[in-house]
Chains A and B, each alone.
Chain A
Amino acid sequence: DVKVTQSSRYLVKRTGEKVFLECVQDMDHENMFWYRQDPGLGLRLIYFSYDVKMKEKGDIPEGYSVSREKKERFSLILESASTNQTSMYLCASSSGGHSNQPQHFGDGTRLSIL
């Protein structure tokens, strides 16, 4: 079974802090994704990566950056956390290429910015 592991289920940080959310997958997937999920808005794509050191902006990249130094790990970084970044963050991975492959999701990190 594919395992996508997010480092924290719950996280509380303060405004202005630099926040790191980590995601690791164990299936040698090329593609990895970061989404945020908000009530009434559904899931929205922040960034994705289709290879090591490669990254592409999603629909809402502002205020975020990502890092993919190793194939299995995809990090989401909040450079200077703000209260409007309080949300549920979900990481996903899928096998590569442009073929249609299912995405496998982690359990999510519920982040609160105070």
Chain B
Amino acid sequence: KNEVEQSPQNLTAQEGEFITINCSYSVGISALHWLQQHPGGGIVSLFMLSSGKKKHGRLIATINIQEKHSSLHITASHPRDSAVYICAVRIRGGGADGLTFGKGTHLIIQP
């Protein structure tokens, strides 16, 4: 079962480019998370969304509940943005805070 699909799986871009990573899901959700994982393993929570749009620095996350779709944008990308970006959803009615994850998008920003 692939309840959360991310695209692209891999993305290589030049420094300064505008980056978009997409996430589609097939179930009703109560929240969607965007996570960042750097080489070495540690995961950082970037955003949690249930509607609309959020912005933090050069990162913007949007969600369209009706279309079951979210995007993560990076403006003025930098090599330090190179990481795996993971979309995760909390399924509506799911117990506690259990999340269902996409497989991640591996982003490389070249100088």
Contact = CB atoms under 8 A, between A and B. Distances in A.
Contacts of B30: 100
A45 interface: yes
Nearest to B41: A108
Interface stretch (B19-27, B62-70, B93-101): B93-101
B45 A103 contact: yes
Contacts, number: 66
Interface residues of A, number: 28
Nearest to A104: B45
A107 B101 CA distance: 18
B42 A56 contact: no
Given A33-B98, A42-B102, A45-B98, A107 B41 contact: yes
Interface residues of B, number: 24
Contacts of A40: 103
Contacts of B40: 107-108
B76 interface: no
A31 B41 CA distance: 21
Nearest to B88: A43
A103 B48 CA distance: 10
Interface in B28-74: 30-31, 33, 35, 40-45, 48, 50
B107 interface: no
Interface of A: 9, 31, 33, 40-45, 48, 50, 56, 58, 88, 90, 92, 94, 98, 100-108, 110
